[in-house]
Amino acid sequence: MRTSALLLSAVLLGALACDQHRAEAHAGARDRDAPLASPSTLDLAERFAPYEAACFVVLDLESGRVRRWNPEQAATPLSPCSTFKIPNALIGLETGALAGTDQVLPWDGTTHERVALNRDHDLRSAMDASVVWYFQEVARRVGTQRMAGFLASVGYGNQDISGGLTQFWLESSLKISADEQVAFLARMLRGELPVSDQTVQGVTDILEQRREGDVVLFGKTGSGHQSLGWFVGWLTRPGGTSVFACNVESTGVYGRDVRALTEQALEDLALLPPEPGR
């Protein structure tokens, strides 16, 4: 009888431990999925004050510390424009719509204003030159059902693709805030998205923008026709990884301008070494 009682106690204790572990795991997942809500602010007035509406968010991936310039703008949903090429590449590779980063899609002969668009591209060159038609074809191959399911599963912005399968991210129905951009990229880097490590590594490899010694900058710009610019990404350094998002709404501002502004802000914060010769 004593042996049976001891066995029963052990089983009950084990069950309680499992329940506690599941509760802690659920709480941890809930915390990771929660909106970025740190009260910390940045003093980058010299960089950002000249613009009508701008924000900068940076997250230390290891400590979870978040700092912001203009929290109200950081929480404002905007069109992702070409920054959506990051999740588009992820789902393209994961579903097999693209066989790999060297998958070449043929140019259909339509003449575009930017000469770089008027040729065949693989995923790497299409990301680098921000080739809209390439990623529109990726979206077609993925299809409406899989695209909608993926955005829902990763919680990307408002997940609204009603603007059309090849247009929803181009100043149309899909909206995402800078805070949400950072949260999405953080989940990707932590391995919390429903995609393989191989897929994440493939996309990471084609997003590298700059190396300064042992610091590496990854990112993607985005530009709207209505004076909107984005730069989102992360940088790795010996001390850890910083995830960031910056957007500016101002007449005549494009993604390339916001990238330059972001790099200067990262330098101001001593996260990115100054570019040699500047």
Same domain, 52 and 165: yes
Residue 16 confidence (pLDDT): 35
When the pLDDT of each residue in the chain is averaged and rounded to a whole number, the result is 87
Cα–Cα–Cα angle for 187, 191, 194, nearest 5°? 85
Supply the range of the domain harboring residue 3.
1-34
Q: Is residue 274 part of a domain?
A: no
pLDDT for the residue 40: 60
pTM (2 d.p.): 0.85
> What CATH code is carried by the domain that includes residue 200?
3.40.710.10
Query: Which residues, in sequence order, are bridge partners of residue 234?
Result: 218, 243
Residue 141 above 80 pLDDT?
A: yes
Examine residue 26 and state whether it is found in any structural domain, yes or no.
yes
Whether the pLDDT of residue 49 is over 50: the answer is yes
If asked whether residues 10 and 111 sit together in one domain, one would say no
Closest CA to 188 of 219, 146, 230: 219
Domain count, the chain: 2
> Do 109 and 216 sit in the same domain of this protein?
yes
Q: Average pLDDT of 31-44?
A: 54
Q: What whole-number distance in Å separates Cα of residue 144 and Cα of residue 271?
A: 39
Q: What is the pLDDT of residues 121-132, one digit of tens each?
A: 999 999 999 999
- Show which residues are catalytic: 82
- Is the domain of 19 the same as that of 117? no
Say how far apart CA 120 and CA 100 lie, in whole Å.
Answer: 15
In this structure, the answer to whether residues 19 and 51 fall within a common structural domain is: no
Q: What is the pLDDT of residues 215-256, one digit of tens each?
A: 999 999 999 987 999 999 999 999 899 999 999 999 999 999
